[in-house]
Chains A and B, each alone.
Chain A
């Protein structure tokens, strides 16, 4: 089609213009041809939105990309802002689902957020890629098509947008800023954010400061001399490390003690929130941050959310709660987490499934604990980028070994891009010193050639996780005539997915209502029964309002059985509705 159109155009165009177009065709034949010359596995065949996944997008570029996705796929997504960040940026939410059928909130929902720790920048790319891949694969891929038909994904690529731009556009290290940009008086001296890092050599990276000192306790590492390691106990050192690049801006004798922000947005969620003395970074009270509060308000309004992943870096971990020992997970739910994570470990080589408080460290007020404990959501925090990515060697937790691999990787794969050599600068307090170390884009983030793979694999795990969200369907329905003009209607309510319609914690805390199966069109329902077994050996009778039977839940890969005895009918129909498991409806044929 397209080629024909251009052909027609060329015939009527003036020669000069024609020559220009010819030039374009020669330069970009595949793009204009519409079909790639060879079907590459993994990528959407002919995306409407052109995007590159071996680079990082700042807030503006990500915004542009999201707007373009919304504009080019209006039937599949909607872009809205959850609210404004502290500095006034939009907190974008892309709702991805096939529109025109059931309203979003009637479909089982998956929440995906990224970049709550804004320095963990590839998280945002995973979120953007996931949205893009789903939108661009809907027409060509059956699995994606079904997913968007039956499920809704709520994707928030930048939960801390102010700090994303701070990381990308101001001098930082790979570790900063973890905080958002809400001012916070870290040292309680009455002045706010008055003493942050300073880029002494003006290279855009906040690195380390050192000074040559025969009484220092550090020495160059022999293989990688730019790297300082502790001298042996009986060996003289050569350098003193002076900390992170910066000076005493406020004249209180301390360096870098009150940088912008100064809290941890992922310690600010309601469940088991504890103040600063128990949980560093907790800030003033739960959801004190405008970004978190906006997200929480949205999630509260969307009880259909049943699965979630929150993207972070780094270390290659699939984390579940609890964050602290005082609120264990329900055993039934742990089985579901285990099954999901086992698949995740397969799909994400080098990633390990871990429990936060036993395998990592205690966390009070983490987002995933709130999602699970207070919303009943099956939620993982995914720590992107595993050290296994360097050389495929088994993951070693020892920091020095890890640093050695990073230096080795830098030498052979990054060709020395990863570190700034030591360089002399004048320091207002210390005099002549040197600064140097890792650039801000190296350490926690994959390099360009690994980023796309990280995006795709994690997207694939999200799709698996989302696919395993509950989905209620009416199975076999049986209608029989009984004596005295009664009709007996028996129906199977199935959930052929891994996750139950309500997690055990949801049922225990009554977070969402029970599932409901209604018989419509009967004049009088005499008896309503609910059973766990197809043979109704020991059913529960529902005396109140038997036409609408309550199911406490439908477990994963299981069914519930309902039966009615009814009097008088014209047309009968059955509908099932589950807040987190979707809904189904059927008209009955009465023999």
Chain B
């Protein structure tokens, strides 16, 4: 069976492996191996969202229609797809301080591209009708990359449906010399790759005590309850004893950046910034120098559970926590995001190792905000009721009774094919038998749910997702069905789980509202950025044709001119103060001076020069310019007799 796309076990490798949701709708399907049936799940979470072609068309239309919008192609991916950047602004957009918004990098969250496009449309329309965005776009440039990983995004649209963030770079993930030879497979032919759970007395997973659909990590208190192993849907295509260990592709965008890079992880690429799309983004940020802040719409987060500083981490040579000096500016923005979106802090998110946003802060010295994009509303947190599991349990036992588990002969125990040391070895087939686990499952599992109070916090996010879709009248997961799996003879294997994408994407009718909230956040961020002013200047005659020029440069924005982290790494350009004019020469000081960073909210620095007037002129005229590509420019002209202030220009 062909499997043109890769495993959703990618997701399990990313810190969300504590909880897994599996549907077990009812006992109706129990014990029956079905193929090609997708009865209750005809709904497709992709419905109503644009594919790559449609995104391209919308971008072209925007650029054709509005003077605020232009497109630029940054690179071509390995899959020969263009990496298209929207630039919103007026005048010389490349020379203004810029906020960069990146979406469509975590392709299983395909809705972020649509949200970025809607945000673009809203911003343009607001600016064109003279709204507050008009001033923002006069002062700043907003760059948007709706699809940061086009090859991965294309996979999200391919069949069978499947969650992945990997691009199309061939990669021998298990290091066996064969490339992409064992990815997931749509075993039941329902057009999507979901999960498999295998009854196993040593499995790492159990059902949530109060919601049998939610699989949670086994803990000591779960002793006696049936245990499972969880792997993505598929077979051991290359007969090496491991299932789905080398899926097609590839590099995941948010695993390929140099900060805290996850060396040897299967989705991290051969090295940092190895692929055209990541290299193009790194070059854009580093070479242009005018990017003040990045906002990433994705599955990462540093605002719901906000970044916090830590003294001992700050003392380390390699910085891995936000610096305390930056936190005071960062935190109010994170708080604004939480309040504006109302997203629950329970939302689970991906780690920051290798991510674009963390790199942007720690290495490129930009302010960086990882926006989780969509989290199901928290008031639907507790599911009203959970479908009964009892019928299934009985059926399971009956089904299993016919087979001698102890003689099961699966593929051999395989070596660790997973390159990420932190990952669980979920897909290794084990041959040890598990009579107790399967036999005892029904009774124990059921009882636990009946007797305890519902205070098990595990799986809160998944339960909220589940409840959200129920409130929408939709079923978010595939019916749970028994499957006679060739690699696990004599074992109970069930296929089921979330519809690909259902955990990460809102219904399409929420897109505009989410875009509006995120646009509001970006506007608020822009309003907080540093801004320069020549606060005070004087030209005092000292006698003998000598003058003392004193200038005070002020940052009237809320945020400092350079994040502390950027200062540490020397990355963003400092403010450069230059003198121009005629009729004088400098006898102390230089025409070009670089300033130390100015704190937010009125940080100032005074500069002094001594000038000598040329004999043939009677008045001095000096033009002072202070500027930095990511902050902007302020200038003033001063004359020896009377000071004349020119307009600040941007």
Q: Which residues of A contact B (CB under 8 A)?
A: 187-190, 250-253, 270-271, 273-278, 284-288, 296, 300, 374, 509-514, 542-545, 579
Question: Contact at B576–A286, with CB atoms within 8 Å?
Answer: no
Among B518-526, B540-548, B566-574, which stretch is in contact with chain A?
B566-574
Q: A509 — which chain B residues lie within 8 A by C-beta? A: 175, 264, 419
Contact of A579 among B177, B419, B574 (CB under 8 A): B177
Whether the Cβ atoms of B419 and A275 lie closer than 8 Å is no
Distance between Cα atoms of A511 and B573 in the complex (Å): 40
Is B592 a contact partner of A510 (Cβ separation < 8 A)? Answer: no
**Chain A residues closer than 8 Å to B273, beta-carbon distance:** 285-288
Contacts of B593 in A (CB 8 A): 252
- Contact call A189/B363, Cβ cutoff below 8 A: no
A187 to B594, CA, bound (A): 9
The 7 closest A-B pairs by CB, nearest first: A510-B175, A513-B177, A270-B271, A277-B569, A253-B590, A252-B592, A286-B272
- 18 A–B contacts, CB within 8 A, in A order: A188-B594, A189-B576, A190-B629, A252-B594, A253-B590, A275-B363, A277-B569, A284-B286, A285-B258, A287-B273, A300-B270, A374-B263, A510-B176, A510-B419, A511-B175, A513-B175, A543-B412, A544-B411
Please report which residues of chain B, range 261-289, place their CB below 8 angstroms from some CB of chain A when the two chains form the complex. Answer: 261, 263-264, 270-274, 282, 286
Does B591 reach chain A (CB closer than 8 Å)?
yes
Q: Which residues of B contact A510 (CB under 8 A)?
A: 174-176, 417, 419
Query: For the complex, is B241 an interface residue (Cβ under 8 Å from A)?
Result: yes
Q: Shortest Cβ distance from A451 into chain B, in angstroms?
A: 36
When distances are taken between beta carbons in the complex, the residues of chain A under 8 Å from B264 are 509
Report the nearest A residue to B627, measured CB to CB. A190
Total number of A-B contacts with CB less than 8 angstroms? 91
Contact (Cβ within 8 A) A285 B174: no
Q: How far is the CB of A523 from chain B (nearest CB, A)?
A: 19
On whether the beta carbons of A188 and B574 are closer than 8 Å, the reply is yes
Known contacts A275-B362, A275-B569, A285-B258; 6 further A-B pairs (Cβ under 8 A): A189-B574, A271-B263, A273-B258, A285-B273, A510-B176, A513-B178
> Is B272 within 8 A of A285, CB to CB?
yes
Q: Which residue of A lies closest to B629 (CB)?
A: A190
Distance of B20 from chain A, by nearest CB (Å): 26
Q: Which of B271, B318, B570, B594 has the most CB of A within 10 A?
A: B271
Any A CB within 8 A of the CB of B644: no
Please judge, given known A-B contacts A251-B590, A284-B282, A285-B258, whether A545 and B239 are in contact too, CB under 8 Å.
yes
Interface of B: prevailing SS? loop
Chain B contacts with A in 388-438, Cβ cutoff 8 A: 411-412, 417, 419
CA A252 to CA B239, docked complex, whole Å: 68
Q: Is B317 interfacial (CB 8 A cutoff)?
A: yes
Least CB separation from B241: chain A residue: A544
Residue on B nearest A287 in the bound complex, by CB: B271
Q: Which residues of A contact B318 (CB under 8 A)?
A: 274, 278
B411 touches A273 (CB 8 A): no
**Shortest Cβ distance from B487 into chain A, in angstroms?**
11
Contact-residue bracket for chain B: 35 or more
Determine if A544 and B174 form an interchain contact, defined as CB atoms under 8 angstroms apart: no
Which residues of A sit under 8 angstroms from B569, Cβ to Cβ?
275-277
| Distance from B541 Cβ to chain A, minimum over Cβ atoms (Å) | 24
List the B side residues contacting A190 at CB < 8 Å.
573, 576, 629
- Compute how far the CA of A270 lies from the CA of B568 in the bound complex, rounded to whole angstroms: 21
Inter-chain CA distance A514–B176, complex, in Å, is 7
B240 → chain A closest CB, angstroms? 7
Q: Which residues of A contact B571 (CB under 8 A)?
A: 275-276
A296 proximity list for chain B (CB < 8 A): 271
Residue of B nearest to A286 (CB): B272
CB distance A278 to B240 under 8 Å? no
CA distance A276 to B572 in the complex (A): 12
Give the one of A252, A277, A545 with max B CB within 10 A.
Answer: A277
Q: How far is the CA of A25 from the CA of B399 in the complex (A)?
A: 99
CB neighbours of A285 from chain B (8 A): 258, 272-273, 282, 286, 363
Contact of B175 among A276, A284, A287, A512 (CB under 8 A): A512
Within 8 A of A (CB), among B301-325: 317-318
Tell which of A286, A374, A511, A542 touches B258, judged by Cβ atoms closer than 8 Å: A286
In the bound complex, what is the Cα–Cα distance between A188 and B594 (angstroms)? 9
Q: State the Cβ distance, B273 to closest chain A Cβ, in Å.
A: 5
Q: How far is the CB of A530 from chain B (nearest CB, A)?
A: 13
Which interface residue of A187, A252, A273, A284 has the most chain B CB atoms within 10 A?
A284
Most A CB within 10 A of own CB, among B175, B241, B417 = B175
- Minimum CB–CB distance for A372 against chain B, Å: 13
User: Bound complex: CA of A274 vs CA of B573, how far in Å?
Assistant: 20
Residues 603 to 632 of chain B near chain A (Cβ within 8 Å): 629
How far is it, in angstroms, between the C-alpha of A275 and the C-alpha of B263 when the chains are bound?
Answer: 16
- A253 to B411, alpha carbons, bound, how many Å? 73
Contacting pair A512 B263 (CB below 8 A): no
Nearest A residue (CB) for B573: A188
Shortest Cβ distance from B270 into A: residue? A300
Closest to A577 in B: B177
Q: Is the CB of A251 within 8 A of B177?
A: no
A286-B258, A374-B263, A510-B175 known; A251+B592 contact, CB < 8 A? yes
Residues of A within 8 A of B172 (CB): 513
Q: How far is the CA of A513 from the CA of B246 in the complex (A)?
A: 13
Q: Are A544 and B412 in contact (CB under 8 A)?
A: yes
Residues in chain A near residue B417, CB distance under 8 A: 510
Partner pick for B272 among A253, A273, A277, A544, CB 8 A cutoff: A273
Name the residue of chain B whose CB is nearest to the CB of A185.
B573
Task: Give the contacts of B154-186 with A (CB-CB under 8 A).
Answer: 172, 174-178
Chain A residues with CB under 8 A of B261? 270, 273
Distance to closest chain B CB from A299 (angstroms):
10
**How near does chain B come to A301, taking the closest CB pair, in angstroms?**
10
Min distance, Cβ A517 to any Cβ of chain B, angstroms: 14
A322 to chain B minimum Cβ distance, whole angstroms, is 14
Q: Roughly how many angstroms separate A250 CA and B578 CA in the complex, as a whole number? A: 12
Closest to B319 in A: A277
A190 to chain B, nearest CB (A): 6
Kindly provide the distance from the CB of A13 to the nearest chain B CB, expressed in whole angstroms: 64
B177 engages A512 (CB within 8 Å): yes
The chain B residue with its CB closest to the CB of A514 is B176
A512 to B172, CA, bound (A): 10
Tell me the smallest distance from the CB of A86 to a CB of chain B, in Å.
14
User: What's the least CB distance linking A290 to chain B, in Å?
Assistant: 12
Chain B residues near A276 (CB-CB < 8 A): 569-571
Interface pair A374/B271, CB less than 8 Å apart: yes
CB-defined contacts of A511 to chain B, threshold 8 Å: 175
**Given A253-B590, A285-B273, also A544-B177 (CB < 8 A):** no
